[in-house]
Amino acid sequence: MKLVIIGGVAGGAASAARARRLSEDAEIILFERGEYISFANCGLPYCVGGEIKNRSMLLVATPQLFRQRFRIDVRLKSLVTSINRERKTVSVTGPDGGAYEESYDKLIISTGAEPARPPIPGIDSPQILSLRTIPDMDRIIEAIEKKNARKALVIGGGFIGLEMVENLKRRGLEVAVIEMLDQVMPPFDHEMAALIRNELENNNIAVWLNERVNAFEDTGGGVRVALQSGRTIDVDFVLLATGVVPEGELAGKSGLRMGIRGSIVVDDRMKTSDPDIYAVGDAVQVFRFADGSSTLIPLAGPAAKEARVAVNTIFGIDTRFRGVQGSSICRVFGITAACTGLNEKTLRSLAQPYGKVYVHPANHAGYYPGAYQMTLKVLYNKNTGVVLGAQCIGPDGIDKRIDVISMAIQAKMTIRDLSEAELCYAPPFGSSKDPVNFAGYVAVNDEDGVMPLTHWDQLDERNPDDFILLDTRTSMEYNGGHAPGAVNIPVDAIRNRLDELEPYRDREILIYCATGVRSHVAGCILKHHGFRAANISGGYRTYCQFHPKACTGETKIQELQESFCGTPRQ
């Protein structure tokens, strides 16, 4: 067996190593057009920021190791220029510029995805940088260290964009971010992303949403960015993080079946439309675990799993790829944001009947030092209770909850399973009722009619004469900010003040507190006294996620933007 692999980083290197583990006899050739194989592109932002101090730490495995331990023929600076399917060869331009053909029995394509470069006038300026490779990282570090950059604009508020915002700020730069959508971090729902934006602004990062770049102008050592809103911003460099595009060109030119945005179509064994060619990683079109629909998920975890499936299949082990959930995580200054499965935007577009809950429990027992509230949103099928997705944001314990729910989704578990999951507990680590259980309890209480739930975003659709809003927090909390029109009766006073609610017996009483816990108690009391009550999921904290301007004011946002635009370049 002669196995040829194109691309030597996540999917390609994993394929090569797995292939050798499965076969001592196979001839394995790995072509990589760059100078490095198997480097940690996920670590690049943290090396820019200086958290990873030694750049050699990014080289997870060297070509020498691949040659010695795995007897893999690694060919660096070798660009595969075409795949000749009839002859079963690839054409390669080697390090010296010479071209040759190499034959294969089986071919694996893992060419990845390249940073998108939208066709904006001036985008070819050398001050407009992006981050995918070690040389890209070196150019950014050079801009900071040798060119003494002070001010950078990140275009794109996704994972890589925000990781870079944090790390550029860590290097002492003044940083701002421009995002064309109405939220940062598109995999999250809008109201969850509001928490991330809030954290950026708390760290003095100016954020523009619903904003686009019209043009870049090279100012000789810097770049002037003209925004659609008419504003111009002078910065030392721009970090372009507007998403990635699958590198499927080689495959496309060879006539393989292509999918979304130039990606390569594969089956669940990672086989392309040619039975001798497999493809893995960011270059392929994958299917969602939850509903089987096609999508692109440029993440390292799926790339590694796909590589294993492809190589297993080539060497006769029956394995199938289960599909992607998009489980992902990002640190943004003091918070972590993680998600898995389908979000509400997608569920709405699929017209699926779904339920949702918001809870704000602590990462661990509240009495143990270092307890912080998190926000956990869980989405589930309204008819079956099967968990479909989750998003979690907070200072600590976020990965644990999303990973637990990710497994629940894979196992097709329901909200009842979440409520019953037995998770480890001692005060420094969790609570006897873990946030995952807690989300399950709230959803099950709704399903069982113990305490119906409603949501802030559903109120606009309702006739205001059909309900009243009841705020069950203390009067001090209420006076610090409340939902418009809400009546305040603190939970501990409610039994003595039921007469105040008598005039509303014909209406539904929609109750909230800070997070949904006290209002649940109040709702139970009201129900036992014959009122129609529902708990507004997530309470006032969630209200503020839906109405961030009402809760935090717009002044700070504008101040940050003005300050970023106004600071003269040094």
Active-site residues: which are they?
42
8-21 burial by CB neighbour count: b if 16+ within 10 A, else e? bbbbbbbbbbbbbe
* Helices of type H across 266-388: 300-314, 344-349
- Pairing state between β 99-103 and 232-235: unpaired
Is residue 41 close enough to count as binding ligand FAD by CB under 6 A? yes
Q: Which stretch binds ligand FAD (CB under 6 A): 29-37, 165-173, 205-213, 516-524?
A: 29-37
Stretch that binds ligand FAD, among 6-14, 312-320, 389-397, 469-477 (CB under 6 A): 6-14
Report how far residue 433's alpha carbon sits from residue 423's, in angstroms, rounded to the nearest whole number: 9
User: CA 538 to CA 535: how far, in whole Å?
Assistant: 9
Nearer to ligand FAD, 393 or 483 (CB): 393
Residue 266 CB-density burial (10 A; 0-12 exposed, 13-18 middle, 19+ buried): buried
* Cα distance between residue 233 and residue 227, in whole Å: 8
Question: Is position 321 an interface residue for ligand FAD (rule: CB under 6 A)?
Answer: no
Q: Smallest distance from the beta carbon of 300 to ligand FAD, in angstroms? A: 4
Using rule CB under 6 A, residue 90 touches ligand FAD: no
- Separation between Cα atoms, residue 425 and residue 448, nearest integer Å: 27
- Of 139 and 547, the one with the shorter C-beta distance to ligand FAD is 139
Residue 398 CB partners (closer than 8 Å, separation 6+): 329, 335, 336, 337, 338, 374, 392
Query: Whole-angstrom Cα distance, residue 83 to residue 68?
Result: 28
Name which of 11 and 389 has its Cβ closer to ligand FAD. 11
Considering the complex, what minimum distance in angstroms separates the CB of residue 54 from ligand FAD? 18
Q: Is 247 in the site for ligand FAD (CB under 6 A)?
A: yes
Query: What dihedral do alpha carbons 104, 60, 111, 282 form, nearest 10°?
Result: 130
Shortest distance (Å) from residue 337 CB to ligand FAD: 12
Contacts (CB under 6 A) with ligand FAD, residues 415-444: none
Minimum distance between the CB of residue 137 and ligand FAD, rounded to whole angstroms? 8
Residue 107 DSSP symbol: E
**Beta bridge partner(s), residue 223:** 218, 235
Of residues 94 and 452, the one with the C-beta less far from ligand FAD? 94
Q: Does 397 bind ligand FAD (CB under 6 A)?
A: no
Q: Which one of 166, 174, 199, 282 is in contact with ligand FAD (CB under 6 A)?
A: 282
Answer for which of 3, 5, 26, 32 binds ligand FAD (CB under 6 A) is: 32
**Binding of ligand FAD at residue 156 (CB under 6 A)?**
no
Sole binder of ligand FAD in the list 5, 48, 160, 534 (CB under 6 A): 160
Q: Which residue is nearest to ligand FAD (CB)?
A: 281
Amino acid identity, position 517: V
Residue 283 within binding range of ligand FAD, rule CB under 6 A: yes
- The residues near 170 (Cβ < 8 Å, ≥ 6 apart) are 49, 50, 51
**Binder of ligand FAD out of 3, 4, 5, 10 (CB under 6 A):** 10
Q: Residues 58, 177, 303, 337: which binds ligand FAD (CB under 6 A)? A: 303
Residue 425, token pair as written in the block: 């507990």
Asked if residue 414 binds ligand FAD (CB under 6 A), the reply is: no
Which listed residue (30, 48, 80, 544) binds ligand FAD by CB under 6 A? 80
The half-sphere exposure of 378 on its side-chain side, counting CA atoms within 13 A, is 35
Under the binding rule (CB under 6 A), the answer on residue 110 touching ligand FAD is yes
Q: How many residues bind ligand FAD (CB under 6 A)?
A: 33
DSSP state of 203: T
Per CB under 6 A, 116 contacts ligand FAD:
no
CA dihedral (209, 482, 494, 517) positive or negative: positive
CB of 330 closer than 8 Å to CB of 163: yes
Shorter beta-carbon distance to ligand FAD: residue 247 or 434: 247
Stretch that binds ligand FAD, among 36-44, 389-397, 441-449, 467-475 (CB under 6 A): 36-44
Q: Two tokens at 329?
A: 């995580």
- 301 touching ligand FAD, by CB under 6 A: yes
Task: Figure out which of the listed residues 63, 161, 298, 548 binds ligand FAD, where binding follows CB under 6 A.
Answer: 298
141 lines the binding site for ligand FAD (CB under 6 A): no
Please state the closest distance from residue 303 (CB atom) to ligand FAD, in A.
4
Binding of ligand FAD by 157 (CB under 6 A):
no
Q: Does 186 bind ligand FAD (CB under 6 A)?
A: no
**Collapsed DSSP state (helix, strand, coil) of residue 340:** strand
**Closest to 435 in 3D by CA, of 517, 499, 504:** 517
Is residue 161 within 8 Å of 132, Cβ to Cβ? no
d(CA 520, CA 138): 54
* DSSP-based three-state secondary structure for 443: helix
Q: Least distance to ligand FAD from the beta carbon of 355, Å?
A: 29
299 binds ligand FAD (CB under 6 A): yes
CB 543 within 8 A of CB 551: yes
Q: Is 9 in the site for ligand FAD (CB under 6 A)?
A: yes
CA atoms of 477 and 471, how far apart (whole Å): 10
| CB closer to ligand FAD, 45 vs 538 | 45
Q: Taking CB under 6 A as the rule, does residue 44 contact ligand FAD?
A: yes
Q: What is the rounded CA–CA span in Å between residue 40 and residue 53? A: 14
DSSP β-ladder status, 128-129 and 277-279: unpaired
Q: Could you say whether residue 246 binds ligand FAD (CB under 6 A)?
A: no
Q: Which is nearer to ligand FAD, 160 or 200 (CB)?
A: 160
Binding site for ligand FAD (CB under 6 A): 6-12, 31-34, 41-42, 44-45, 79-80, 110-112, 131-132, 160, 247, 250, 281-283, 298-301, 303
